Structure 1
């Protein structure tokens, strides 16, 4: 159908790739642990929206520019790295709330802002665009009648599977944090550790090269 082949293998590979840890997973886990599963799901849906942008761009050939233009790749890479580092700074600057024992350890963010964080974290990562260009075409026949449509279908399958995993991760992390009952001190250090990991990811992205 549509020139797509080895669909079960594509689904399995996509699930395994989605499970690999990265900035998206870190964001979901941090928001879920500190603000509940709804916050983690908001981040997950933002990431999914960003993934759709990459899917459509790759299907229309726009992502090919990132694969062939060093200047375009560098610009998007540096913007994405700067955003991740900005998020890292905000996490590292978090302070413990001590005014009231009943006060939350982390000031809650509106879900729309968490959605925006997930969206920008994903859409400003040029490696995601290059991944789709390298991975998805392997499952499309060379003589497929409509390669762009086949690409979009496979991309949507990948994204739906990713959303299932991300929301499961959000729910699991939130439930785990409820059982552990994170104290303000633990919550604060969770944000700082995550911020440090985001620094590493941001620097890694800034120093990455086209492949």
Structure 2
């Protein structure tokens, strides 16, 4: 089993991932505002299934790579550090998109399409795959037991964090969008706070060592 303090740090990392602007959040907010909470929840179900797909694929992949290639940890740690710094820059770069600016085409999609697009939006989102491939190895150690089991453990935690936050987003999307539209200063605060947390995680990752 993975130690509690490592799991708590992973929860923080997973939380930063889910609140950082990206295709999943944009899609859920858009459908929740333009088609209602029910459509948002159906879309969320698709997004969650997309996470499960990533978890299974990454769990098998990491099990093979980490046990076969000794340098894999260092390579993945470096890639993860660079990617987190990239996300930090994206959060505060000039003219970055307001995540609550959504477009409505006036059309309402059916449940099947909502679920499918939510699923594909997540499956085809490189941020999720990179997060798993770069972060999981920081917490998975052979001495803790099966690499595959540890990977699934982290995956379940990440899905729970993501579902909880996105569920709240779906239920409050319209009100949150109005609040941020009327209080643009909070957008800047959110961006800089997020960038700071991402940079901190990047430094912590860069300084971490394999055990």
| 2: CA distance, partners of 1:63 / 1:148 | 6
Q: Please give the residue correspondences for 1:105-124 in structure 2 after superposition, counting only pairs within 5 Å.
A: 106-124=106-124
Counterpart for residue 146 of structure 1: 146
Counterpart for residue 205 of structure 2: none
Counterpart for residue 26 of structure 1: 26
- Structure 1: gaps of 5 or more residues: 69-90, 95-105, 181-211
| 2: CA distance, partners of 1:126 / 1:12 | 20
Query: Is 2:63–2:148's contact at 8 Å kept on the other side of the alignment?
Result: no
Q: Please give the residue correspondences for 1:68-107 in structure 2 after superposition, counting only pairs within 5 Å.
A: 94=105, 106-107=106-107
CA shift digits 1:65-109 (9 cap, x unpaired): 9x99xxxxxxxxxxxxxxxxxxxxxx9893xxxxxxxxxxx2321
Q: Name the structure where helix makes up a greater proportion of residues.
A: 2
Q: Which has the larger radius of gyration?
A: 1
The 4+ residue runs of structure 1 with deviation greater than 4 A are: 2-5, 62-65
Query: Is 2:23–2:125's contact at 8 Å kept on the other side of the alignment?
Result: no
- 1:136 matched to 2:139? The reply is no
Q: TM-score, normalised by structure 2?
A: 0.60
**SS at 1:109 equivalent:** coil
Q: What's the C-alpha RMSD, in Å, of the aligned pairs?
A: 3.0
| 2: CA distance, partners of 1:127 / 1:115 | 20
Counterpart for residue 11 of structure 1: 11
Question: 1:133 offset after TM fit, Å?
Answer: 1.0
Is the deviation greater in 166-175 or in 145-154?
A: 166-175
Query: Is 2:37–2:171's contact at 8 Å kept on the other side of the alignment?
Result: yes
Counterpart for residue 189 of structure 1: none
Question: 1:112 offset after TM fit, Å?
Answer: 2.0
CA shift digits 1:47-67 (9 cap, x unpaired): 1111110110000118989x9
Report the number of matched residues.
145
**SS at 2:108 equivalent:** coil
Query: Is 1:136–1:154's contact at 8 Å kept on the other side of the alignment?
Result: yes
